[in-house]
Amino acid sequence: MDCNCPNPTELSEIGNVDCGVDLNQVQRIAVQRGGAYEFDESASPTPQDVKVLSVWQALKTATDDTKIVFTPMIGGDPIIEPGEAITVGGGDNSTLNGVEEVQGVNPSKFSCVFKSLPATIEKQMKSLMCEKNLVVYLFLQGGKVAVINAGTGVYKGFTAQSLFVSDRGNQGFGTQDAVNFSFSFPAGWSDDLEIVKLNFNPFTDI
């Protein structure tokens, strides 16, 4: 959050909530190198409409930094833990009147579990840990995608840092092996969130 001077002359307006916005369940993730691509509905000569399957297919088969890879369906426990406030002091002599000072926001953390992954897929997913500049697209229940609104008809993925894919865990008889998957979103990751209904099924069509 940028709180540097000068302050606005008045408080910034907060609009009315006409309808709620919820991600609901994240069910699949697409990963791409950061800074390489934006979906742009009005791009010329060929629109790069985020809602259109052919655009995603071109990215899936790309041979440069625009290439997108898709995880298998998430097996369970997809959650996003919002970053907590970074504070100083509170109830001691380090701040004026002992009042806690909020100095920033920690990253948010996405985590989930992939179940019964073949070793080849597990290994392929682990190669993402060597990448230092990634963005992700979150496919949501109902076949929608969560993206960053970067302008009229322009969308991009969320920056994902510290991506981690664990080794296989096993809980014994009658259980499925599990691979833990996580990454961090930088503070403010959801400020320009938009949920877009796709013209195709991102769980079966790609």
Partner 1 sequence: MATKTFVKLKAKDQKKEAKPVEFEIGQANKLLKLSNSQWELSDDKFQWNGIEIAKK
Return residues touching partner 1 (CB under 8 A): 45-47, 49, 52-55, 57-58, 61-63, 199-200, 205
Determine the Cα–Cα distance for residues 32 and 15; give it in Å rounded to an integer: 33
Question: Among residues 162 and 201, whose Cβ is nearest to partner 1?
Answer: 201
Question: Among residues 25 and 57, whose Cβ is nearest to partner 1?
Answer: 57
Question: Among residues 72 and 188, whose Cβ is nearest to partner 1?
Answer: 72
In angstroms, give the least distance from the CB of 65 to partner 1.
14
Question: Among residues 51 and 126, whose Cβ is nearest to partner 1?
Answer: 51
In angstroms, give the least distance from the CB of 64 to partner 1.
10
Q: Identify whether the C-beta of residue 163 lies closer than 8 Å to the C-beta of residue 129.
A: yes
Question: Among residues 63 and 120, whose Cβ is nearest to partner 1?
Answer: 63
Reference 163, options 122, 131, 193; nearest CA is 131
In angstroms, give the least distance from the CB of 115 to partner 1.
25
Question: Among residues 61 and 171, whose Cβ is nearest to partner 1?
Answer: 61
In angstroms, give the least distance from the CB of 57 to partner 1.
6
In angstroms, give the least distance from the CB of 156 to partner 1.
20
In angstroms, give the least distance from the CB of 60 to partner 1.
8
Q: What is the 3-state secondary structure (H, E, C) of the chain?
A: CCCCCCCCCCCCCCCCCCCCCCCCCEEEEEEEECCCCCEECCCCCCCECCCCHHHHHHHHCCCCCCCEEECCCCCEEEEEECCCEEEECCCCCCCHHHCCEEEEECCEEEEEEEECCCHHHHHHHHHHHHCCCEEEEEEECCCEEEEEEEECCEEECEEEEEEEEEEEECCCCCCCCEEEEEEEECCCCCCCEEEEECCCCCCCCC
